[in-house]
Structure 1
Amino acid sequence: MGRLFSNVVSRIPFPSGAYSIVSLVFSGLVLSGCGLIEPEKAPPACPEIIVLKEAEEMTRFQGQGRDLTDVAFEASINNFANVCVLDEETNNLNNQVVVRFELTQGPASDGAARFNYFVAVATHDRKILSRESFDLVAPFEGNRTSVALVDNIFPTIPLRNGKTGDDYIIFIGFELTRSELYYNRTKI
């Protein structure tokens, strides 16, 4: 199947109060695809995006302690969008997936949140076709204790045998250690 992802090309930190700006970005992405569509052609079906429940939040502790004073940062995936365009020459479905993270600095912070998240393309029967991990760093500059971060990725799905975007799922989640996963499971 080969590599389905292109490189991450933009990382835009936003102050946590910039919800209206981020909303405009998401709206613009969705609406920008509409102007590219010829009137007689319906837009392609985009894959469903699912944020895995156990991997939608992360609490990173500093050291072995699990007290509130040991929290380096907390993070959540709190918004996402997908815009797709069908390349009729190659029959590839080119996606732009935008993921928004909200991060809060903890008492044990070193001034930045460093974390990984993954994006996986799968069939509807949950067979993973491709999975890639992305590293992000969110600095807590000045006296900011929270920050929003937006990341763009561009998975390409080769459509074969009459398949459409409806036949695929894009999974998103934080890459968690065993102890972080256990911590999340105790909160659910």
Structure 2
Amino acid sequence: MGRLTNWSVSRLLSMPSLAVVTLFGLAGCGIIEPEKAPPACPEIIVLKEAQEMTRFQGNGRDLTDVTFEASINNFVGGCKLDEETGRLHNQVVVRFELNQGPASDGGAQFNYFVAVATQDRKILSRESFSLVAPFEGNRTSVAIVDNIYPSITLGRGDTGEDYIIFIGFELSRSELYYNRTKL
């Protein structure tokens, strides 16, 4: 193919419809292959009632009885489809923020869950994770990031958009009640 001169480039640019038609035509014939689109990933939802946790010492519910407060304040996810097995491998990165309370013993231990569900909220799998956060020195707050890798075997014709990943703290009855009174 010959070299394009300034005249031929400017002439080509003055005929945009011809250039666009030619490029689309080449792409349609497979001469220019577009990159394969990434798979659709499941929606990630942090359950509102389980997004925060306030842990009290004993049966008291006064501010002085708080050992720590925690929240899920950020998350990000991605996925990759294994076309041979039909499994959608997800990665979810969850960020927790914890604040030490007056009744703290110097650390915080808590559990959270990740559940995979269908769009109609039928739970397919659920897994619990345990984390420990030390409040070292005179620190009264700490952030923790955790990576989790739920995978989903896709049904025939399904995509990641047909599923939801739920995240939340595992709460006791009294912690759940406390959260509901704050909403």
Residue equivalent to 2:44: 49
SS at 2:177 equivalent: helix
> What is the TM-score of this pair, normalised by structure 1?
0.79
Deviation at 1:160, TM superposition (A): 1.7
* Correspondence list, 1:6-25, <5 A: none
Deviation at 1:40, TM superposition (A): 2.4
Runs of 4+ in 1 over 6 A off after TM superposition: none
SS at 1:110 equivalent: coil
Residue equivalent to 1:81: 76
C-alpha root-mean-square deviation of aligned residues, in Å?
Answer: 1.0
Bigger Cα Rg: 2
Deviation at 1:89, TM superposition (A): 1.2
Deviation at 1:39, TM superposition (A): 4.8
Deviations 1:50-73 (A, max 9, x none): 100000000000111100000000
> What is the TM-score of this pair, normalised by structure 2?
0.81
* Correspondence list, 1:30-109, <5 A: 39-109=34-104
**Percent identical across equivalent pairs?**
83
Residue equivalent to 2:16: none
Q: Does 1:162 align with 2:157?
A: yes
What is the identity, as a one-letter code, of the residue corresponding to 1:118? F
What is the identity, as a one-letter code, of the residue corresponding to 1:134? F
Deviations 1:71-126 (A, max 9, x none): 00000000001110001111110000100000000000011110000000000000
Residue equivalent to 1:150: 145
CA distance in 2, matches of 1:164, 1:129: 15
* Counterpart selection for 1:119 from 110, 114, 118: 114
* Correspondence list, 1:131-142, <5 A: 131-142=126-137
CA distance in 1, matches of 2:164, 2:90: 12
SS at 1:69 equivalent: helix
What is the identity, as a one-letter code, of the residue corresponding to 1:167? D
